Amino acid sequence: MTEVRLRSILDNDFYKITMQNAVVKLFPNERVKYQFINRGNHFFPENFAEELRKSVHAMADLKLTKAEKEYLRLTCPYLDLPYLDFLAGYQYDPAEVQIRQAGNDLEVTVEGEWYRTILWEVPLLALISELHYQMNNFEREPDETIIQKTHQKAEELHRLGVNFAEFGTRRRHSYKVHDLVMEALIQSKTTKFIGSSNIHFAMKYGVKPIGTHAHEWFMFHAAEYGFKMANALSLEHWVDVYRGDLGVALSDTYTTEVFFQQFDKKFAKLFDGVRHDSGDPIEFAEKTIAHYHKNGVNPLFKYIIFSDGLNMEKVTEITAACRGKIGISFGIGTNLTNDVGVKPMNIVMKLTAARSITGDWIPTVKLSDEPGKHTGDPKMIELAKEFLRIKE
């Protein structure tokens, strides 16, 4: 069996780096918990936990190289220089990760200071995914087929005339497949491929690292400041740190309806656009366009990044519905990095609790535009819906 190991500390989604920079600056003392969620009820064979522990312990040896630090300094001037010095001294601490296996069920939890533990989620999911395919002996398609399929997708997206980025780290088939896909996208010569959410591959292939913030940013703010203040304070704090850079707001942590109630004229003008990650994408686009019009903003000067379970058919439908009405871009994940002839995994890792200044653990929740994607303590979910007057 081949050992599954990360090759770089930057083999992670870019929004983890941008959020870590903000957390180091604003929330250096807060502790949090994360939990792995096996949404697809996937089968984990005997000794899976043991192999995952080996991969996790090997991450303690990862260090930011001088070349990687210089890359971040030159490419991402909005990252604070003291943060880059911090990242250069950062090391993963495997003691923050607890891994257990009961039969074919896997339990993975993370606990520690938020500024430290924030980097675990994406690499853990990528490792779990790669190990899953390897240990279950699932055979993927040949390299040539993967490259050909990627070229075909890039050509189709080019014909549609839409910008797209690769967003597939967390549920990729493997590092090898991820690398093949990135190389194929670069070779396709399409001018519409704009970058990758993976910093390591963005650096390796000379494309733009793409990302701003994730649901956990808003979930933490809800635990810290209350559900009604979560969206507004999350956006306000983001602006405090980045002063207009990284201006794409995630809209669906507590449903789009609630988000737009607080995404007022100030935020609508200041942020470059919004990201769609759950619910009907065309309905979301219509709501977004109407919201911009309501606030006196020309939606053609803004854009939506669509990133929810995209395939070529969805991209085509969304493009037809939105063309000429609002700017659009696509973050395509699993359909690029795990379209290899085996069933993609449906796994996530979510922030589950944040410790308050009184020392109490406050459960965190996410209220997606798709009720089936709600995560968190059921009692807290009902409380959030009551506070935010959400009816389903």
Q: Say whether pLDDT at 1 is over 80.
A: no
pLDDT band at residue 274 using 50, 70 and 90 as cut-offs: very high
Please enumerate, as own/partner, the contacts of 200-209 that have beta carbons within 8 Å and a separation of 24 or more.
Answer: 200/7, 200/8, 200/10, 200/11, 200/12, 201/11, 201/166, 202/14, 203/10, 203/68, 203/71, 203/75, 208/75, 208/165, 209/14, 209/75, 209/76
Percentage of the chain surpassing pLDDT 70? 100
Contact 328, 322 (CB under 8 A): yes
pLDDT band at residue 188 using 50, 70 and 90 as cut-offs: confident
pLDDT at 63: 98
pLDDT band at residue 189 using 50, 70 and 90 as cut-offs: confident
Percentage of the chain surpassing pLDDT 90? 93
Domains detected in the chain? 14-139+343-376 (3.20.140.10), 143-337 (3.20.140.10)
Environment class of residue 37 by beta-carbon count within 10 Å: exposed (0-12), middle (13-18) or buried (19+)?
middle
pLDDT at 70: 98
CA distances from 271 to 235, 251, 296, 305 (A): 9, 12, 14, 13
Backbone angles phi, psi at 110, to 5 degrees: -130, 140
pLDDT at 375: 87
Q: Which of 374, 367, 113, 17 is nearest to 222 (CA)?
A: 367
Q: Label each residue of the chain as H, E or C.
A: CCCCCCCCCCCCEHHHHHHHHHHHHHCCCCEEEEEEECCCCCCCCCCHHHHHHHHHHHHHHCCCCHHHHHHHHHHCCCCCHHHHHHHHHCCCCHHHEEEEEECCEEEEEEEEEHHHHCCCHHHHHHHHHHHHHHHCCCCCCCHHHHHHHHHHHHHHHHHHCCEEEECCCCCCCCHHHHHHHHHHHHHCCCCCEEEECEHHHHHHHCCEECCCCCHHHHHHHHHHHCHHHHHHHHHHHHHHHHCCCCCEEECCCECHHHHHHHCCHHHHHHCCEEEECCCCHHHHHHHHHHHHHHCCCCHHHCEEEECCCCCHHHHHHHHHHHCCCCEEEEEECHHHHCCCCCCCCCCEEEEEEEECCCCCEEECCEECCCHHHCECCHHHHHHHHHHHCCCC
Determine the average pLDDT of the residues in 144-155. Answer: 96
pLDDT at 7: 96
pLDDT at 99: 98
pLDDT at 83: 98
pLDDT at 191: 72
Q: Say whether pLDDT at 392 is over 90.
A: no
For residue 234, give the amino acid letter. S
d(CA 299, CA 286): 11
Looking at the DSSP bridge assignments, the partners of residue 362 are 354
d(CA 100, CA 109): 9
Which tokens in the block code for residue 307? 């990133």
Q: Say whether pLDDT at 17 is over 90.
A: yes
pLDDT at 374: 85
Q: Which tens digit of pLDDT belongs to each residue from 20-59?
A: 999 999 999 999 999 999 999 999 999 999 999 999 999 9
Determine the average pLDDT of the residues in 325-339. Answer: 97
